[in-house]
Structure 1
Amino acid sequence: MTSKTTLDAARVELLLNELRLPGIKLMWAKLAEQSDKEGWPAARFLAAIAEHEMVDRGRRRMERHLTEARLPAGKTLATFDFESVPMVSKAQVMALAAGDEWLAKGANILLFGPPGGGKSHLSAALGLALIENGRRVFFARTTDLVQRLQIARREFGLESAIAKLDRYDMLILDDLAYVTKDQAETSVLFELIAARYERRSMLITANQPFGEWGQIFPDQAMTLAAVDRLVHHATIFEMNVPSYRRKAALDRKRGPGRPATHATSKKAEKPDAD
């Protein structure tokens, strides 16, 4: 390599740093060598390095979105046991995972059912699928997020805190039922629901059906207003199935030499986080 070529290569490295093109910086020398050897036209070389940068940016973007989403690990649609939750249509879930029209109009997904039935698994798996399709998602236990919003309110920053959540195409609130019936907590939760109405989507999991939401919100008017906003554009899944965790605990208690009192499928016996 001549001194001029070495100088040019160093200059390219500096320029790529300045332009913040790490993908091209990583591969340009190898592609340039291949281009010189095979006699590529300039347009082919430029297309090759631009394509590599685009792929690398997509990979880094997904990594950032996965990190910020805070999804529970290992929860995917591939590992969700649809056979054990027959009331949930796999085809419908896969259509939701594409996340096009329903996210554009700020529609919601509501998952109801007893603990251990797979609500959290399905919500996290949908969140992961949406991230893989280029969307931004945030997963939080409802109590944790509500406490953060309460702190923001005390510091006169509630509006700003809710606005920051607008960056996420879907906000997953897990375990709505565990919010205490406290005026301060439920009022910030209601403000969040109202602020996202018909603009940004929410996915909510809850143990109680709507008829028992009076235990969450302090008065009937707020309960009705919250439910009205959530269901206006919503897909609702009733996941009323036995707890996978309970089944697994019973199986362990019985031990390998004691037969089950009733038949269960292999898939139904696998524990699944709610």
Structure 2
Amino acid sequence: MDEKLEQMMKYIGLRGLLANWDHYMEIAEQGNFSPVRLLTYVVEQEYKIKHDNARKRRIAHANIPEPYEIETFPFDRQTKLNRKKVLSIYDSFDYMLKQRNIIWVGPTGTGKTGLATAFLTQAINKGYRGKFILFPELVETLYQSIADHTESKVLKTFASYDCLLIDELGFIEIEPVQVGLFFTLMHKRHKTKCTLITSNLGFEEWESFLKNAQLTAALLDRLTECSHVINMKNCMSLRSKLETV
């Protein structure tokens, strides 16, 4: 390939075309494609490459600790889970199309995070911006933003994600100012974005770590309005247990 042509392709960002140049030239030499068809094919391939690269960047930015897919979830082992309901929500994709929240409630180890991650991944693969974050990390980030006077910026960032997965809500008690910031974030996302939440505590127990009856009621009112709640309270742990001697 001509060095000048190579530099031009790099400059305008046609790295997919550059990487597949020899393949395209081989197709052209075979003469099976008309000029129009060949150009269309090259553009389509370049689009697919850019589209997939953008998806990979969104996945990387989402900071998902472990990749999960709905197809590999062991529904056969989790017989107390309403499989039909979960798959119906997943397949309809209305949680993104209608900005509906999904809340998984149940004991540790039952697969809540895996399912929520599968939903988040589906949204990202379909072109939406998403983020995975542990609840303790989220409230700490919000709290730290007060010290450096960036709370508005941080709230705006978390409020802007099309799909935000907040994992392990309820594992720690939080300070009143953190409760207020978390409520503000949920209020900003209310009916405008999809929020996925996993919690080992039932709604009646949320006041135990939020420590504010009024804010807890207001928060639950917003989170559960037009939301899907997946009850996994009677589900078994999927984690393998070490044998004791």
TM value normalised by structure 2: 0.90
Say if 2:109 is the partner of 1:119. Answer: no
Question: C-alpha distance in 2, partners of 1:79/1:189?
Answer: 33
Distance 2:236 2:84 in 1: 22
What are structure 2's unaligned runs of at least 5 residues?
none
- After TM superposition, give the deviation of residue 244 of structure 1 in Å: 2.9
Q: Which residue of 2 aligns with 1:253?
A: 244
Q: Cα–Cα, structure 1 residues 181 and 40, in superposed 2: closer, same or farther, change >3 Å?
A: closer
Match of 1:243 among 225, 230, 237: 237
The one-letter code sitting in structure 1 at the alignment partner of 2:241 is A
Aligned partner (choices 120, 128, 133) of residue 135 of structure 1? 128
- Partner in structure 2 of residue 72 of structure 1: 65
Superposed displacement of residue 167, structure 1:
4.2
Question: Per the alignment, in what secondary structure is the counterpart of residue 42 of structure 2?
Answer: helix
Q: Does residue 176 of structure 2 align to residue 179 of structure 1?
A: no
Aligned partner of 2:209 in structure 1 is: 216
Q: What amino acid is aligned across from residue 159 of structure 1 in structure 2?
A: S
Which residues in structure 2 correspond to 1:1-274 (within 5 Å)? 9-38=2-31, 40-98=33-91, 100-240=93-233, 241-245=235-239, 248-249=240-241, 252-253=243-244
Deviation at 1:166, TM superposition (A): 4.0
Amino acid at match of 1:249: K
In 2, the alpha carbon distance for the partners of 1:130 and 1:157 equals 28
- What is the deviation of 1:119? 1.1
Identical counterparts, % of pairs? 23
Instruction: Describe the shift of the 1:96–1:135 C-alpha distance in structure 2 as closer, same or farther (beyond 3 A).
Output: farther
Taking structure 1 as the reference length, what is the TM-score of the superposition?
A: 0.81
Secondary structure, aligned partner of 1:171 = strand
Q: Secondary structure at the match of 1:204?
A: strand
Residue deviations 1:63-121 (CA, integer Å, cap 9, x gap)? 11221112232432233221233343334333433574331332100010111211112
Moved more, 111-120 or 79-88: 79-88
Query: 3-state DSSP class of the match of 1:189?
Result: helix
Distance of aligned partners of 1:99 and 1:165 in 2 relative to their CA distance in 1, 3 Å threshold: farther
Aligned to 1:107, what secondary structure does the other structure show?
coil
User: Is the deviation greater in 164-173 or in 43-52?
Assistant: 164-173
Mark the structure with the bigger radius of gyration: 1
Quick check: 108-117 or 57-66, which moved more? Answer: 57-66
Give the Cα separation in 2 of the matches to 1:101 and 1:249.
36
How many aligned positions are there?
Answer: 244
CA, structure 1 residues 166+26, in 2 after alignment: closer, same or farther (shift >3 Å)? farther
- TM superposition shift of 1:30: 2.7
Unmatched 5+ residue regions in structure 1? 1-5, 255-274
Tell me how far apart the structure 1 counterparts of residues 59 and 205 of structure 2 sit (CA, whole Å).
34
1:131, distance to aligned residue in structure 2 (A): 2.4
Root-mean-square deviation over aligned CA pairs: 2.1
